[in-house]
Amino acid sequence: MIQSNDHAQSYYRASAHALPERPSLGADLNADVCVVGGGFTGVNTAIELAQRGLSVILLEARRIGWGASGRNGGQLIRGIGHDLSGFAKSVGEEGVRYLERAGIDSVALVGERIAQHRIDCDLRWGFCELANTPAQFAAFKGEQEHLAALGYAPETRLVGPRAMREVVDSSVYVGGLVDMGSGHLHPLNLVLGEAQVAESLGVRIFEHTPVLALVHGDTVQVRCAGGTVRANHLVLACNAHLDELEPRLSGKVLPAGSYIIATEPLSQAVAQSLIPQNLALCDQKVGLDYYRLSADRRLLFGGACHYSGRDPQDIAAYMRPKMLKVFPQLANTAIAFQWGGKIGITANRFPQVGRLKQYPNVFYAQGYSGHGLNVTHWCARLLAEGIHAGTSPGLDIFSQVPHMTFPGGKALRSPLLALGMLWYRLRERLG
């Protein structure tokens, strides 16, 4: 897939409230902090820093929300990573409990930011995890009990096989767990609204400004074609698009393709029949399906994460059969939008957050592995705490989780992971 420097031709772009053009960097400037990357991580780190009184310059190589922040499924779902108990050896039991609470509190943080600044992004509360097998449904009971033990306040309820049509009009699921503390929204309008909040706090944002080189030192020099930013601290918030700007980090994240289609607007009756409670929905497969209704009653259906580095030639042709497997009743419904892009995947499916050991004034956050909408906001707060106060207990916990570099170098990274994911999918089918 050839990526332009403008936003993907997605439903989100077509329904964005405004897409203001910001200037590129055209002079040498100074700031307390330079943030590289104009997605959720970068924009919210800038907000958090500005709220603490620091001067911030944000550089984006293309447009605000150009990457996964403006293209994703729009599912605001609790959680960080996949199995946090496995990190107890690194962060201890208390650290695991902190991470579990962070997965919950990060959703609330997004909701608070939207409410405080009145960001119009179609936020709707309500989500359902979908079980593809009886074993998955049985595990939902334990998940519900664990949430209660954590003090989770929003309503959760188990939905058995006979009641599934009350949640989704499909025959492929054997049960579900409804969570009214998670939900869905328009991600591009959210990040665009947050960028306006950042600017209102004094953050200077430059688009179409790729970073050409970093010169490290007590003052970091961030060199671009039109000028150099000198800052006391640097935040790298590029995620899947870091490339080789910082090789110490780029090898730890695999850029994987993720794809979404959006139907033509559905009638009120059809939309109501498909997802009666207007929930966000996501299944439990390795190559998961996730979907929801947009504010104008389109079905947005996503998934099919690609690790091979090769994108489908026709996203709609690739994704439509997956949608029809869930909703065969949409066989005569047209696909109005199709788009895709890269998300950052880590080997342990846990985000990488911290500072470079070699250069302690360089901070980073990346590799959200599908949980980016909420976790970006939480990590942005931790980065700002670490920069402003010099320390952050939460940042320390995240930093203690070990991360491997993908083997094989840049050329073999994707093929090796693709083989590994094929093994997981085969095991899933045989199991």
State the Cα torsion 264-269-273-278 to the nearest 10°: 70
Task: Give the domain range for residue 65.
Answer: 11-71+188-254+348-422
pLDDT of res. 408: 58
What is the average pLDDT across 316-336?
A: 97
pLDDT of res. 421: 47
What is the average pLDDT across 73-100?
A: 94
Task: Give backbone dihedrals phi and psi of 156, rounded to 5 degrees, phi first.
Answer: -130, 150
CATH number, domain with residue 387? 3.50.50.60
Does residue 163 belong to any structural domain of this protein?
no
Q: Grade residue 414 by pLDDT with cuts at 50, 70 and 90.
A: low
Does residue 145 belong to any structural domain of this protein?
no
pLDDT in tens, 290-323: 999 999 999 999 986 665 556 788 999 999 999 9
pLDDT in tens, 59-68: 999 999 999 9
Does residue 135 belong to any structural domain of this protein?
no
pLDDT of res. 422: 47
SS3 at position 49: helix
pLDDT of res. 423: 40
Residue 429 in this model has a pLDDT that exceeds 70: no
Q: Are 341 and 258 in contact (CB under 8 A)?
A: yes
pTM of whole model > 0.95? no
Does residue 330 belong to any structural domain of this protein?
no
pLDDT of res. 254: 85
pLDDT of res. 405: 84
Residue 333 in this model has a pLDDT that exceeds 80: yes
Q: Grade residue 201 by pLDDT with cuts at 50, 70 and 90.
A: very high
| Domain total of the chain | 1
Does residue 222 belong to any structural domain of this protein?
yes
pLDDT in tens, 124-150: 999 999 999 999 999 999 999 999 999
Does residue 85 belong to any structural domain of this protein?
no
The lowest-confidence range among 70-84, 163-177, 281-295, 396-410 is: 396-410
SS3 at position 430: helix
125-145: string of b/e by CB count within 10 Å (b at 16+)? Answer: bbbbbbbbeeebbeebeeebe
pLDDT of res. 301: 98
Q: Grade residue 1 by pLDDT with cuts at 50, 70 and 90.
A: very low
Q: Grade residue 415 by pLDDT with cuts at 50, 70 and 90.
A: low
Does residue 337 belong to any structural domain of this protein?
no
Q: For residue 77, which of 13, 170, 143, 12 has the smallest C-alpha distance?
A: 143
Residue 370 in this model has a pLDDT that exceeds 60: yes
Q: Are 29 and 23 in contact (CB under 8 A)?
A: no
Strands 175-184 and 204-206 come out as: unpaired
Residue 231 in this model has a pLDDT that exceeds 80: yes
Does residue 125 belong to any structural domain of this protein?
no
235-260: string of b/e by CB count within 10 Å (b at 16+)? Answer: bbbbbbbbeebbeebbbbbbbbbbbb
Q: Which alpha helices (DSSP H) does 327-391 contain, by range?
A: 372-389
| DSSP string over 84-109 | GGGGHHHHHHHHHHHHHHHHHHHHHH
pLDDT of res. 304: 64
pLDDT in tens, 90-118: 999 999 999 999 999 999 999 999 999 99
Tokens 């911290």: give the residue: 354
